[in-house]
Amino acid sequence: MAFMRYRALPRGELTAEEFRAWLAQFDADSDGRISREELRHALRSLNVRFAWWKARGGVRAADADRDGGVQLGEDEVARLFAFAQSHLRVKIAQLGYY
Ligand SMILES: [Ca+2]
């Protein structure tokens, strides 16, 4: 696979839509969902430690319909957003944490 530069996660507080837009770029096979492997790439781009392990946890937390990936729709992205907030210290605008 060619080396790709990903757009950085915006600094400061994020909305769910900003988070979804950022996440969508990692949908390498354009199937409308983020697989565990794609999520690992997303986490690696943030220099997150233990990206493989956290990607597994993130998919588990967000994959409501148990198809093995995170659908890029509202529901599962919202679940992943909640996971990111508690495990990755992503700042969430809507919930007003931090
Ligand atoms: Ca995908």
Complete domains list, the chain, with CATH: 30-88 (1.10.238.10)
**C-alpha of residue 82 to centroid of ligand 1, in Å:** 20
70-83: average pLDDT: 92
**C-alpha of residue 35 to centroid of ligand 1, in Å:** 5
DSSP states of the chain? ----PPPPPPSS-B-HHHHHHHHHTT-TT-SSEEEHHHHHHHHHHTT-TTHHHHHHHHHHHH-TT-SSEEESSHHHHHHHHHHHHHHH---BTTTT--
Lowest mean pLDDT among 7-11, 43-47, 73-77: 7-11
**C-alpha of residue 4 to centroid of ligand 1, in Å:** 16
Could you tell me if 47 and 41 are in contact, meaning their C-beta atoms sit under 8 angstroms apart? no
Structure token pair of residue 74: 């509202």
Residue 34, pLDDT above cutoff 80:
yes
**C-alpha of residue 64 to centroid of ligand 1, in Å:** 16
Could you tell me if 43 and 51 are in contact, meaning their C-beta atoms sit under 8 angstroms apart? yes
Residue 31, pLDDT above cutoff 90:
yes
**C-alpha of residue 84 to centroid of ligand 1, in Å:** 19
